[in-house]
Amino acid sequence: MAQALRLAERGSASTHPNPRVGCVIVKNGKVIAEGFHERAGDRHAEINALREAGDKARGADVFVTLEPCCHTGRTGPCTQALLAHKPHKVWIAMQDPNPLVAGKGIAQLRKAGIEVDVGVLQDEAAALNRGFVSRMTRGRPFVTLKLAASLDGRTATSTGESKWITSEEARADVHRLRAESGAVLTSSATIMADDPELTVRFGSFPRQPDRIVLDTHLRSSLDAKVWAPGARRILLAVRPRSDQVDELKARGVEVQLVGVSSGGHVDLASALTSLGRSEINEVFVECGPRLAGAFLQSGLVDELVIYFAPSLLGHDSRPLAELPGLRSLHQRIPLEFLETKKIGPDLRITARPLPLSPLHQS
């Protein structure tokens, strides 16, 4: 199963919105075939492995990282292909959280007399498809908030200068994470300040990530680089002008209207739900301190990735995140460090926000 998971990782930047799946077929203690899902619309991992195995799959053990599908979507059901090859046993890392499958594929195999074992390296399989699991179980994407700062937690000088605080190695790492997440989200403030492309320009990847802009009243320029073709583009807005919406739609941009919270700000939860309905599994958030703070204080950040450069910018410079209303230690944002790694001269810290104190909600 560990080999099947390694195969599944090869589709990390290309299978969206489908899950990443790998399959290994073993007979008489030897691997006779392998396969993985390369991109949405192409053959699933099981089909690729079964095609390689051919008649040898009969009586073999099949190791697959996700429950085989039993419905017809972009491709046919994998359960039927497995039944046609009559394997001895199917080992499955985790049940598919998709309600269209969710145990039905396992039941079909067992009903046909094939032995099925579920749960081998289940945690690793779930981590590999955290975005897909999030969308299927919570109705929203997995959210990673990325920040880059000096060692004293500053993201730009007082005049707004920020290129470049971190190294080229760190920026290449960010581009890899963009590609693997499959969708990048930023704010109108960042568009107006930096006019970013939000593309992947380091490395070779099979697709460009979706570009998402949270722009309440569509203040950013319609000629901003983020609206250039080459990827799926989405505007999240509250009350944009109809003429602006028409122009963006004419350029192929999707416009999604989102709600407003009781405080008059964009309802981030409803925005993420809207993205979930658009089949977006993961969102990589790159934004300024105001939106970063709003995401953190909303409790919607699943993972935090911070790149710290070995430099100091001083107290007049801009902070990592604006956290209004934080007046006591009880209101701080608690984190759990998951990994620290040196990227070039910089330090990358990966952390998980812990549940917020009730005082954050008051």
Enzyme catalytic residues? 46
What sign does the dihedral 110-18-186-275 (CA atoms) show?
negative
Q: Are 285 and 174 in contact (CB under 8 A)?
A: no
3-state secondary structure of 61: strand
What is the C-alpha to C-alpha distance for residues 314 and 312, in angstroms, rounded to an integer? 6
Residue 338 near residue 309 (C-beta atoms within 8 A): no
**Cβ count within 10 A of residue 202:** 15
Omega cis (within 30) before 17: yes
Helix (H, G, I), strand (E, B) or coil at 211: strand
Name the H helices within 195-267. 242-250
Four-CA torsion 199, 200, 206, 211, nearest 10 degrees: -30
Token pair 């199917």 is found at: 90
